[in-house]
Amino acid sequence: MNPTTLKLEIAATAAALVVEEGLEYGPAKHRAVKQMNLPQRSELPGNDEVEDAVREYIALFCADTQPAELAALRELALTWMTRMAQFRPYLGGAVWHGTATRLSDIYIQLFCDDPKSAEIALIEHNVDYEPRTVTGFTGSNVEALSLRSLCKPLQETVVVHLMVYDHDQLRGALRPDAKGRKPRGDLADVQKLLMSSRESSS
């Protein structure tokens, strides 16, 4: 099998794991290699290739259920963005790009003048959260405040990650991605997505 075909095969196997098990792209790619009995050092597809495969998988196997699940997750994301509005929230990841299913986590980026202020806001509202250090979109470490929130339409508890960035990083956050798309959206953008999905389903 030539390397290009093999990478597409890995992407397709990873896509199934992303949709069916809620794995993130990185772990899904590594699990796919293991599942396919390939050498550990096999060349992996890029995230864009996996995302394309996820879209294909959803179109084939989840076209009846995924739009409603995505809308429910976007509604929940909007709730948290509204609660954290003072910290300039932006929605990213699968929920923003439209590839999320009921097993997907929600990723919201906050751009704060004081990095501790978002954490203090959660404490003041008695929100249980878990602080972690993760790799941010700049490639450097950022703090993530991870919490669980009930998504009533799905009857699922969804993990919401609030990624805390410095306010100065906002400009870089809005540069188009490799596909020329907006990499994340603010409150107004998410409201627009929800309105258009309501119009198309009515």
Examine the domain organization and report whether 15 and 86 are in the same domain.
no
Average pLDDT, the chain: 93
Examine the domain organization and report whether 28 and 106 are in the same domain.
no
Examine the domain organization and report whether 105 and 125 are in the same domain.
yes
Q: Which of 29, 61, 93 is the last residue of a domain?
A: 61
* DSSP element (H, E) containing 190: helix 187-201
The answer on pLDDT for 188 being more than 70 is yes
Examine the domain organization and report whether 99 and 40 are in the same domain.
no
Examine the domain organization and report whether 120 and 33 are in the same domain.
no
Examine the domain organization and report whether 72 and 56 are in the same domain.
no
Examine the domain organization and report whether 57 and 72 are in the same domain.
no
Domain containing residue 165: 66-201
Examine the domain organization and report whether 88 and 116 are in the same domain.
yes
Q: Which of 15, 33, 61 is the last residue of a domain?
A: 61
The CATH number given to whatever domain includes residue 169 is 3.30.460
Examine the domain organization and report whether 106 and 193 are in the same domain.
yes
Examine the domain organization and report whether 71 and 168 are in the same domain.
yes
d(CA 3, CA 50): 15
Nearest to 45 by CA among 97, 4, 104, 100: 4
Question: How many structural domains are present in the chain?
Answer: 2
Start-to-end C-alpha separation, the chain:
46
Handedness of CA 129, 132, 134, 140 (dihedral sign): positive
* DSSP element (H, E) containing 78: helix 66-83
Q: What's the confidence (pLDDT) of residue 114?
A: 92
Examine the domain organization and report whether 96 and 8 are in the same domain.
no
d(CA 65, CA 152): 16
Q: What is the pLDDT of residues 99-133, one digit of tens each?
A: 999 999 999 999 999 989 999 999 999 999 999 99
Burial class (CB in 10 A: 0-12, 13-18, 19+), 145: buried
d(CA 30, CA 132): 23
Q: What is the pLDDT of residues 136-164, one digit of tens each?
A: 888 889 999 999 999 999 999 999 999 99
d(CA 72, CA 33): 32
Q: Which of 61, 89, 108 is the last residue of a domain?
A: 61
Comparison of pLDDT for 135 and 184, the residue scoring more:
184
Q: What's the confidence (pLDDT) of residue 202?
A: 60
d(CA 128, CA 13): 35
Examine the domain organization and report whether 169 and 86 are in the same domain.
yes
Q: Is the pTM of this model over 0.85?
A: yes
Q: What's the confidence (pLDDT) of residue 2?
A: 81
* DSSP element (H, E) containing 149: strand 141-151
Q: What is the pLDDT of residues 192-202, one digit of tens each?
A: 999 988 877 66
